[in-house]
Structure 1
Amino acid sequence: MPRVQLPATTPKRRAWNKGRIIGQKRPLLPKQVWAIRARLELAGNLRDLALFNVAIDSKLRGCDLVRLKAKDLVSSERVKERVTIIQSKTGKPVQFELSENTRDSVVKWLDTPEMLRCQFMLPSRFHDRPHISTRQYGRLVRNWVTAIGLEPSGYGTHSLRRTKASEIYRKTGNLRAVQLLLGHTKVDSTVRYLGVELEDALSIAERIDI
Protein backbone atom coordinates (compact mmCIF):
# COMPACT_ATOMS: atom_id res chain seq x y z
CA MET A 1 0.00 0.00 0.00
CA PRO A 2 1.54 3.34 -0.99
CA ARG A 3 2.61 5.61 1.86
CA VAL A 4 0.77 8.95 2.05
CA GLN A 5 3.02 11.98 2.56
CA LEU A 6 1.31 14.49 4.84
CA PRO A 7 2.24 18.17 4.60
CA ALA A 8 4.74 19.37 7.13
CA THR A 9 3.31 21.44 9.94
CA THR A 10 5.03 23.97 12.12
CA PRO A 11 4.05 24.36 15.76
CA LYS A 12 2.09 27.50 16.48
CA ARG A 13 3.90 30.01 18.65
CA ARG A 14 1.97 31.34 21.62
CA ALA A 15 0.81 34.86 20.91
CA TRP A 16 2.64 37.39 23.09
CA ASN A 17 -0.64 38.95 24.18
CA LYS A 18 -2.59 35.75 24.86
CA GLY A 19 -4.40 36.09 28.15
CA ARG A 20 -3.38 39.72 28.47
CA ILE A 21 -5.54 42.82 28.34
CA ILE A 22 -4.03 45.16 25.77
CA GLY A 23 -4.82 48.68 24.71
CA GLN A 24 -5.62 51.65 26.92
CA LYS A 25 -5.28 51.03 30.64
CA ARG A 26 -8.43 51.37 32.72
CA PRO A 27 -8.91 54.16 35.24
CA LEU A 28 -9.55 53.12 38.81
CA LEU A 29 -13.04 53.38 40.27
CA PRO A 30 -13.49 55.48 43.43
CA LYS A 31 -14.00 52.34 45.55
CA GLN A 32 -10.76 50.90 44.19
CA VAL A 33 -8.89 54.12 45.00
CA TRP A 34 -10.10 53.91 48.58
CA ALA A 35 -9.25 50.22 48.81
CA ILE A 36 -5.64 50.84 47.78
CA ARG A 37 -5.41 53.90 50.03
CA ALA A 38 -6.73 51.95 53.03
CA ARG A 39 -4.20 49.14 52.49
CA LEU A 40 -1.30 51.57 52.31
CA GLU A 41 -2.51 53.40 55.43
CA LEU A 42 -2.88 50.15 57.40
CA ALA A 43 0.59 49.05 56.29
CA GLY A 44 2.05 52.38 57.40
CA ASN A 45 3.68 52.75 53.99
CA LEU A 46 4.10 56.53 54.01
CA ARG A 47 6.08 56.80 50.78
CA ASP A 48 3.67 54.75 48.67
CA LEU A 49 0.67 56.46 50.22
CA ALA A 50 2.05 59.90 49.38
CA LEU A 51 2.98 58.74 45.88
CA PHE A 52 -0.45 57.20 45.26
CA ASN A 53 -2.34 60.25 46.51
CA VAL A 54 -0.22 62.71 44.54
CA ALA A 55 -0.53 60.55 41.41
CA ILE A 56 -4.34 60.58 41.65
CA ASP A 57 -4.63 64.32 42.36
CA SER A 58 -1.93 65.55 39.99
CA LYS A 59 -2.96 63.49 36.95
CA LEU A 60 0.69 63.69 35.86
CA ARG A 61 2.49 61.41 33.46
CA GLY A 62 4.83 59.00 35.22
CA CYS A 63 7.92 60.78 33.88
CA ASP A 64 6.84 64.04 35.53
CA LEU A 65 5.54 62.43 38.71
CA VAL A 66 8.80 60.66 39.63
CA ARG A 67 10.74 63.91 39.06
CA LEU A 68 8.69 65.97 41.52
CA LYS A 69 10.87 67.80 44.02
CA ALA A 70 9.93 68.66 47.57
CA LYS A 71 10.14 72.36 46.69
CA ASP A 72 7.55 71.81 43.94
CA LEU A 73 5.00 70.81 46.57
CA VAL A 74 6.07 72.85 49.60
CA SER A 75 6.17 76.59 50.15
CA SER A 76 6.90 78.32 53.47
CA GLU A 77 7.01 74.90 55.17
CA ARG A 78 3.45 74.12 54.06
CA VAL A 79 2.24 71.81 51.31
CA LYS A 80 0.64 73.85 48.54
CA GLU A 81 -3.03 73.49 47.68
CA ARG A 82 -2.24 74.20 44.03
CA VAL A 83 0.95 73.24 42.22
CA THR A 84 2.28 74.23 38.81
CA ILE A 85 5.02 72.32 36.98
CA ILE A 86 6.45 72.29 33.46
CA GLN A 87 5.62 69.07 31.61
CA SER A 88 8.65 67.29 30.19
CA LYS A 89 6.71 66.03 27.14
CA THR A 90 5.22 69.34 26.00
CA GLY A 91 7.40 71.92 27.75
CA LYS A 92 4.20 73.66 28.85
CA PRO A 93 2.96 74.33 32.38
CA VAL A 94 0.16 72.34 33.96
CA GLN A 95 -1.55 73.09 37.26
CA PHE A 96 -3.14 70.67 39.68
CA GLU A 97 -4.75 70.72 43.08
CA LEU A 98 -3.78 68.69 46.15
CA SER A 99 -6.62 67.59 48.41
CA GLU A 100 -6.36 67.85 52.19
CA ASN A 101 -5.90 64.08 52.44
CA THR A 102 -3.04 64.20 49.94
CA ARG A 103 -1.39 67.16 51.67
CA ASP A 104 -1.48 65.29 54.99
CA SER A 105 0.16 62.22 53.47
CA VAL A 106 2.87 64.35 51.83
CA VAL A 107 3.64 66.11 55.14
CA LYS A 108 4.00 62.78 56.96
CA TRP A 109 6.30 61.40 54.25
CA LEU A 110 8.50 64.51 54.08
CA ASP A 111 8.90 64.44 57.88
CA THR A 112 10.45 60.94 57.86
CA PRO A 113 14.21 60.38 58.35
CA GLU A 114 14.43 58.93 54.81
CA MET A 115 13.60 62.35 53.42
CA LEU A 116 16.24 64.25 55.39
CA ARG A 117 18.14 66.48 52.94
CA CYS A 118 16.47 64.78 49.95
CA GLN A 119 15.79 66.98 46.96
CA PHE A 120 13.26 64.72 45.22
CA MET A 121 9.96 63.61 46.74
CA LEU A 122 10.62 60.03 45.62
CA PRO A 123 14.35 59.42 46.13
CA SER A 124 15.86 56.25 44.73
CA ARG A 125 17.50 53.70 46.99
CA PHE A 126 20.28 53.42 44.39
CA HIS A 127 23.07 55.96 44.84
CA ASP A 128 23.50 56.52 41.09
CA ARG A 129 19.87 57.64 40.65
CA PRO A 130 18.35 60.76 42.20
CA HIS A 131 14.75 59.48 42.13
CA ILE A 132 12.80 56.31 41.40
CA SER A 133 12.38 55.38 37.74
CA THR A 134 9.14 55.18 35.80
CA ARG A 135 9.71 51.42 35.66
CA GLN A 136 9.82 51.26 39.46
CA TYR A 137 6.68 53.35 39.58
CA GLY A 138 5.00 50.92 37.18
CA ARG A 139 5.93 47.98 39.42
CA LEU A 140 4.42 49.76 42.42
CA VAL A 141 1.16 50.34 40.53
CA ARG A 142 1.11 46.67 39.57
CA ASN A 143 1.54 45.68 43.22
CA TRP A 144 -1.20 48.04 44.36
CA VAL A 145 -3.85 46.83 41.94
CA THR A 146 -2.92 43.17 42.48
CA ALA A 147 -3.28 43.62 46.25
CA ILE A 148 -6.97 44.53 45.86
CA GLY A 149 -7.70 41.67 43.48
CA LEU A 150 -7.55 43.44 40.10
CA GLU A 151 -6.00 41.92 36.97
CA PRO A 152 -2.67 43.80 36.72
CA SER A 153 -2.45 43.59 32.92
CA GLY A 154 -5.50 45.88 32.70
CA TYR A 155 -3.90 48.68 34.71
CA GLY A 156 -0.76 50.77 34.63
CA THR A 157 0.66 54.18 35.49
CA HIS A 158 -1.76 55.84 33.06
CA SER A 159 -4.62 54.33 35.07
CA LEU A 160 -3.74 56.71 37.89
CA ARG A 161 -3.39 59.63 35.48
CA ARG A 162 -6.82 58.88 34.00
CA THR A 163 -8.66 58.12 37.26
CA LYS A 164 -9.60 61.60 38.48
CA ALA A 165 -9.86 62.98 34.94
CA SER A 166 -12.38 60.27 34.02
CA GLU A 167 -14.40 60.93 37.16
CA ILE A 168 -14.46 64.68 36.47
CA TYR A 169 -15.64 64.07 32.92
CA ARG A 170 -18.27 61.56 34.06
CA LYS A 171 -19.72 64.02 36.57
CA THR A 172 -19.47 67.23 34.55
CA GLY A 173 -19.11 66.31 30.87
CA ASN A 174 -16.66 69.22 30.63
CA LEU A 175 -13.99 68.16 28.14
CA ARG A 176 -12.28 71.55 28.20
CA ALA A 177 -11.73 71.34 31.94
CA VAL A 178 -10.30 67.83 31.64
CA GLN A 179 -8.08 68.95 28.75
CA LEU A 180 -6.58 71.69 30.92
CA LEU A 181 -6.10 69.39 33.90
CA LEU A 182 -4.32 66.77 31.80
CA GLY A 183 -2.17 69.37 30.06
CA HIS A 184 -3.27 68.33 26.58
CA THR A 185 -2.69 70.88 23.81
CA LYS A 186 -5.66 69.67 21.77
CA VAL A 187 -9.11 68.58 22.91
CA ASP A 188 -9.12 65.65 20.47
CA SER A 189 -6.16 64.24 22.44
CA THR A 190 -8.37 64.35 25.53
CA VAL A 191 -11.19 62.65 23.63
CA ARG A 192 -8.93 59.77 22.63
CA TYR A 193 -7.35 59.56 26.07
CA LEU A 194 -10.67 59.26 27.86
CA GLY A 195 -12.15 56.97 25.20
CA VAL A 196 -15.04 59.37 24.69
CA GLU A 197 -17.46 58.66 21.88
CA LEU A 198 -17.09 61.26 19.11
CA GLU A 199 -20.77 62.25 18.98
CA ASP A 200 -20.80 62.63 22.76
CA ALA A 201 -17.64 64.71 22.61
CA LEU A 202 -18.99 66.99 19.89
CA SER A 203 -22.28 67.58 21.67
CA ILE A 204 -20.39 68.52 24.83
CA ALA A 205 -17.91 70.70 22.95
CA GLU A 206 -20.78 72.61 21.32
CA ARG A 207 -22.02 73.63 24.75
CA ILE A 208 -18.61 74.91 25.88
CA ASP A 209 -17.47 78.37 24.84
CA ILE A 210 -13.68 78.63 24.89
Structure 2
Amino acid sequence: MIKKRYFFYLIMIIVHVSHTATIAVDLQSKIMLQKIKSLANIDKIAIRVNQSMLPIPYRYLLTQPLMTKGVEEYYQRTPVIQTIYARKNKRNNTYSRSIIMLLDYNKVRNDVRLAQKKSEIMVVVLAFITINFNELPNKIIADVLNTNIPLGQLLFTNHVKILSTDRSYFYVRCNKVIFLLTHCNQDNKLYGRTHTLIRADNNRCDMGPHVWNKIKEK
Protein backbone atom coordinates (compact mmCIF):
# COMPACT_ATOMS: atom_id res chain seq x y z
CA MET A 1 0.00 0.00 0.00
CA ILE A 2 1.26 3.48 -0.85
CA LYS A 3 0.91 6.08 1.82
CA LYS A 4 -0.55 9.16 0.20
CA ARG A 5 1.22 12.49 0.49
CA TYR A 6 -0.91 15.53 -0.15
CA PHE A 7 0.08 18.07 -2.74
CA PHE A 8 -1.96 21.22 -3.08
CA TYR A 9 -1.44 23.04 -6.35
CA LEU A 10 -3.30 26.24 -5.58
CA ILE A 11 -3.58 28.53 -8.54
CA MET A 12 -4.66 32.05 -7.76
CA ILE A 13 -5.90 33.86 -10.83
CA ILE A 14 -6.34 37.63 -11.00
CA VAL A 15 -7.69 39.73 -13.85
CA HIS A 16 -5.25 42.53 -13.23
CA VAL A 17 -1.92 43.63 -14.66
CA SER A 18 0.71 45.61 -12.81
CA HIS A 19 4.38 46.41 -13.15
CA THR A 20 6.51 45.48 -10.19
CA ALA A 21 10.14 44.97 -9.29
CA THR A 22 11.40 41.77 -7.70
CA ILE A 23 9.25 41.16 -4.66
CA ALA A 24 11.02 42.35 -1.54
CA VAL A 25 9.68 40.72 1.59
CA ASP A 26 11.41 40.78 4.97
CA LEU A 27 11.93 37.04 5.30
CA GLN A 28 14.04 37.60 8.39
CA SER A 29 10.85 38.49 10.18
CA LYS A 30 9.41 35.42 11.88
CA ILE A 31 6.01 37.09 11.92
CA MET A 32 6.07 37.65 8.16
CA LEU A 33 7.22 34.09 7.48
CA GLN A 34 4.43 32.76 9.65
CA LYS A 35 1.87 34.87 7.81
CA ILE A 36 3.12 33.62 4.45
CA LYS A 37 3.03 30.00 5.58
CA SER A 38 -0.49 30.47 6.91
CA LEU A 39 -1.67 31.09 3.34
CA ALA A 40 -1.22 27.37 2.70
CA ASN A 41 -4.08 26.60 5.09
CA ILE A 42 -6.69 26.84 2.39
CA ASP A 43 -9.60 25.52 4.44
CA LYS A 44 -9.44 28.58 6.70
CA ILE A 45 -9.28 31.27 4.02
CA ALA A 46 -10.82 29.89 0.81
CA ILE A 47 -14.30 29.38 -0.61
CA ARG A 48 -14.66 26.14 -2.56
CA VAL A 49 -16.21 26.35 -6.03
CA ASN A 50 -17.14 23.92 -8.81
CA GLN A 51 -15.21 23.81 -12.07
CA SER A 52 -18.27 25.17 -13.89
CA MET A 53 -18.07 28.31 -11.72
CA LEU A 54 -14.55 29.18 -12.89
CA PRO A 55 -14.56 32.23 -15.17
CA ILE A 56 -12.81 32.17 -18.55
CA PRO A 57 -9.81 31.91 -19.10
CA TYR A 58 -9.30 30.36 -15.67
CA ARG A 59 -11.41 27.37 -16.60
CA TYR A 60 -8.67 26.51 -19.11
CA LEU A 61 -5.66 27.46 -16.99
CA LEU A 62 -6.80 25.68 -13.84
CA THR A 63 -7.61 22.44 -15.60
CA GLN A 64 -4.14 21.93 -17.06
CA PRO A 65 -2.14 19.11 -15.41
CA LEU A 66 0.96 21.34 -15.40
CA MET A 67 0.29 25.02 -14.79
CA THR A 68 3.68 26.05 -16.18
CA LYS A 69 2.80 24.86 -19.67
CA GLY A 70 -0.61 26.52 -19.47
CA VAL A 71 1.00 29.82 -18.43
CA GLU A 72 3.54 29.59 -21.27
CA GLU A 73 0.84 28.97 -23.86
CA TYR A 74 -1.53 31.62 -22.53
CA TYR A 75 1.04 34.40 -22.21
CA GLN A 76 3.45 33.24 -24.95
CA ARG A 77 6.34 33.99 -22.61
CA THR A 78 8.92 32.02 -20.63
CA PRO A 79 8.37 32.02 -16.85
CA VAL A 80 11.00 31.79 -14.13
CA ILE A 81 10.52 31.35 -10.40
CA GLN A 82 11.75 33.19 -7.33
CA THR A 83 11.85 31.26 -4.05
CA ILE A 84 10.28 32.95 -1.03
CA TYR A 85 11.29 30.26 1.45
CA ALA A 86 12.28 26.58 1.32
CA ARG A 87 12.81 23.71 3.73
CA LYS A 88 14.16 20.19 3.18
CA ASN A 89 12.98 17.24 5.28
CA LYS A 90 15.88 14.77 5.29
CA ARG A 91 13.89 12.10 7.07
CA ASN A 92 11.17 11.93 4.42
CA ASN A 93 13.37 13.17 1.57
CA THR A 94 10.86 15.88 0.72
CA TYR A 95 11.37 19.51 -0.19
CA SER A 96 8.82 22.20 0.63
CA ARG A 97 8.95 25.67 -0.83
CA SER A 98 6.93 28.75 -1.56
CA ILE A 99 7.61 30.44 -4.88
CA ILE A 100 6.36 33.19 -7.12
CA MET A 101 6.42 32.80 -10.90
CA LEU A 102 7.56 35.79 -12.93
CA LEU A 103 7.04 36.89 -16.52
CA ASP A 104 8.40 39.79 -18.55
CA TYR A 105 5.64 42.36 -18.99
CA ASN A 106 7.02 42.95 -22.49
CA LYS A 107 5.91 39.96 -24.57
CA VAL A 108 8.33 40.67 -27.44
CA ARG A 109 11.39 41.05 -25.17
CA ASN A 110 10.52 37.96 -23.07
CA ASP A 111 13.51 38.39 -20.73
CA VAL A 112 12.65 38.27 -17.02
CA ARG A 113 16.16 39.17 -15.88
CA LEU A 114 16.17 42.38 -17.90
CA ALA A 115 12.57 43.08 -16.95
CA GLN A 116 13.50 42.91 -13.26
CA LYS A 117 16.14 45.58 -13.76
CA LYS A 118 13.55 47.82 -15.40
CA SER A 119 10.80 46.96 -12.87
CA GLU A 120 8.69 45.53 -15.68
CA ILE A 121 7.79 42.06 -14.45
CA MET A 122 4.47 40.39 -13.74
CA VAL A 123 3.96 38.05 -10.81
CA VAL A 124 1.58 35.42 -12.18
CA VAL A 125 1.91 32.57 -9.70
CA LEU A 126 2.19 32.19 -5.95
CA ALA A 127 2.76 28.54 -5.07
CA PHE A 128 3.25 26.34 -2.02
CA ILE A 129 4.63 22.92 -2.97
CA THR A 130 6.04 19.88 -1.21
CA ILE A 131 8.06 17.69 -3.59
CA ASN A 132 8.73 14.01 -2.95
CA PHE A 133 12.35 13.59 -4.07
CA ASN A 134 12.05 9.80 -3.79
CA GLU A 135 10.01 9.84 -7.00
CA LEU A 136 12.17 12.18 -9.11
CA PRO A 137 15.40 11.65 -11.10
CA ASN A 138 18.59 13.15 -9.67
CA LYS A 139 18.83 15.63 -12.55
CA ILE A 140 15.44 17.13 -11.74
CA ILE A 141 16.28 17.27 -8.03
CA ALA A 142 19.51 19.15 -8.80
CA ASP A 143 17.66 21.61 -11.03
CA VAL A 144 14.94 22.14 -8.41
CA LEU A 145 17.60 23.04 -5.85
CA ASN A 146 19.90 25.09 -8.08
CA THR A 147 17.93 26.79 -10.86
CA ASN A 148 14.99 29.15 -11.30
CA ILE A 149 13.25 26.83 -13.77
CA PRO A 150 9.64 26.05 -12.79
CA LEU A 151 9.00 22.49 -11.65
CA GLY A 152 6.38 21.93 -14.34
CA GLN A 153 8.93 22.79 -17.01
CA LEU A 154 11.45 20.38 -15.49
CA LEU A 155 8.91 17.56 -15.47
CA PHE A 156 7.95 18.29 -19.08
CA THR A 157 11.47 18.58 -20.53
CA ASN A 158 12.64 15.46 -18.69
CA HIS A 159 9.64 13.47 -19.95
CA VAL A 160 8.26 12.63 -16.51
CA LYS A 161 4.65 11.71 -17.18
CA ILE A 162 2.28 12.75 -14.42
CA LEU A 163 -1.38 12.54 -13.52
CA SER A 164 -3.36 15.18 -11.63
CA THR A 165 -5.66 13.73 -8.96
CA ASP A 166 -7.82 14.91 -6.03
CA ARG A 167 -8.38 18.25 -7.71
CA SER A 168 -10.63 20.91 -6.23
CA TYR A 169 -11.13 24.59 -6.96
CA PHE A 170 -11.56 27.66 -4.78
CA TYR A 171 -11.22 31.39 -4.55
CA VAL A 172 -9.72 33.67 -1.92
CA ARG A 173 -9.70 37.43 -1.50
CA CYS A 174 -6.52 39.42 -1.99
CA ASN A 175 -5.32 40.39 1.50
CA LYS A 176 -2.31 42.31 2.81
CA VAL A 177 0.02 39.31 2.87
CA ILE A 178 -0.89 38.17 -0.64
CA PHE A 179 -0.53 41.76 -1.84
CA LEU A 180 3.04 41.93 -0.54
CA LEU A 181 3.92 38.88 -2.63
CA THR A 182 1.91 39.53 -5.77
CA HIS A 183 0.73 43.17 -5.89
CA CYS A 184 -2.84 42.00 -6.43
CA ASN A 185 -5.72 44.44 -6.04
CA GLN A 186 -7.00 44.48 -2.47
CA ASP A 187 -10.08 42.31 -1.96
CA ASN A 188 -10.03 40.95 -5.53
CA LYS A 189 -11.15 37.35 -6.00
CA LEU A 190 -8.20 35.05 -6.67
CA TYR A 191 -9.18 31.69 -8.18
CA GLY A 192 -7.16 28.58 -7.57
CA ARG A 193 -7.01 24.84 -7.18
CA THR A 194 -5.58 22.11 -4.99
CA HIS A 195 -4.48 18.77 -6.37
CA THR A 196 -2.04 15.89 -6.09
CA LEU A 197 0.45 15.02 -8.81
CA ILE A 198 1.42 11.38 -9.17
CA ARG A 199 3.74 9.60 -11.57
CA ALA A 200 1.81 7.93 -14.36
CA ASP A 201 4.15 4.93 -14.46
CA ASN A 202 3.80 3.86 -10.82
CA ASN A 203 0.94 5.93 -9.34
CA ARG A 204 3.21 7.32 -6.63
CA CYS A 205 3.12 10.90 -5.45
CA ASP A 206 5.67 13.30 -6.89
CA MET A 207 4.48 16.09 -4.66
CA GLY A 208 2.75 16.87 -1.63
CA PRO A 209 1.23 20.23 0.17
CA HIS A 210 0.54 23.52 -1.30
CA VAL A 211 0.61 25.51 -4.45
CA TRP A 212 -1.13 28.75 -5.15
CA ASN A 213 -1.12 30.30 -8.56
CA LYS A 214 -2.38 33.69 -9.55
CA ILE A 215 -2.77 34.35 -13.26
CA LYS A 216 -2.99 37.87 -14.57
CA GLU A 217 -4.69 39.04 -17.71
CA LYS A 218 -2.48 39.36 -20.77
TM-score above 0.5: no
Structure with the greater relative contact order (CA < 8 A, sep ≥ 6): 1 or 2? 2
More helix as a share of residues: 1
Q: TM-score, normalised to structure 2's length?
A: 0.22
User: Which one has a bigger Cα radius of gyration?
Assistant: 1
More strand as a share of residues: 2
Q: TM-score, normalised to structure 1's length?
A: 0.22
